[in-house]
Amino acid sequence: MKNLLAGIALFGTFALASAQTITFDKTTYEYGQIKPNSDGTRFFTVTNTGDKPLIISNVKPACGCTTPEFSQDPIAPGKSAKIKVGYNTATVSPFNKMIEVFSNDPVNSRSVIYIKGEVTATAPEPKPLTAAEQKAAAKAEKKAAKMAAKK
């Protein structure tokens, strides 16, 4: 009987070890101080650190001032995808918004990411992007637009 229970426990351990696993590059994106009506778009990188395809089924913001875009295409093991989060910067005020990410990760089927900062007229001017940053931003925007078009 002990061997049977030990075998079941060992099998359960392997079953959990063999799954899709969601990992984020960061769970909070800090905007800092930004000017009203400035670009409120930011990206979170999601990586599948498991060994089965990861599927993001839904991304749900806490309010209408935050608009996420994501792809429901499976993320292969070891690969990454982006979640585009837009914040409406028209209202001058501090913000701290929660965004729920739902996936087929058996341990973390609901993950939470945050955006926070302050929209203020006295915010410093944004620093100009380097050529490499401009290229990366254009590539991320093109990929996000392609994912949104697939929806």
Residue 151: pLDDT over 70: no
| 73 vs 22: CA distance, rounded Å | 14
| 94-150 pLDDT per residue, tens | 999 999 999 999 999 999 999 999 999 988 876 666 777 778 777 877 776 676 565
| 151 vs 145: CA distance, rounded Å | 10
In 1-151, where does DSSP find H-type helix? 2-17, 131-150
Residue 10: pLDDT over 60: no
CA 33 distance to own-chain centroid: 21
DSSP output for 92-123:
-EEEEEEEEEEES-SS-SEEEEEEEEEE-TTP
- Of 40, 39, 134, nearest to 95 by C-alpha is 40
Residue 14: pLDDT over 50: no
CA angle 112, 117, 121 (to 5 degrees): 155
Instruction: Read off the pLDDT of each residue in 69-94 and give the average, rounded to a whole number.
Output: 95
Looking at residue 5, what DSSP letter applies? Answer: H
| 19-66 pLDDT per residue, tens | 999 999 999 999 999 999 999 999 999 999 999 999 999 999 999 999
Predicted model pTM: 0.73
- Name residue, tokens 């925007």: 141
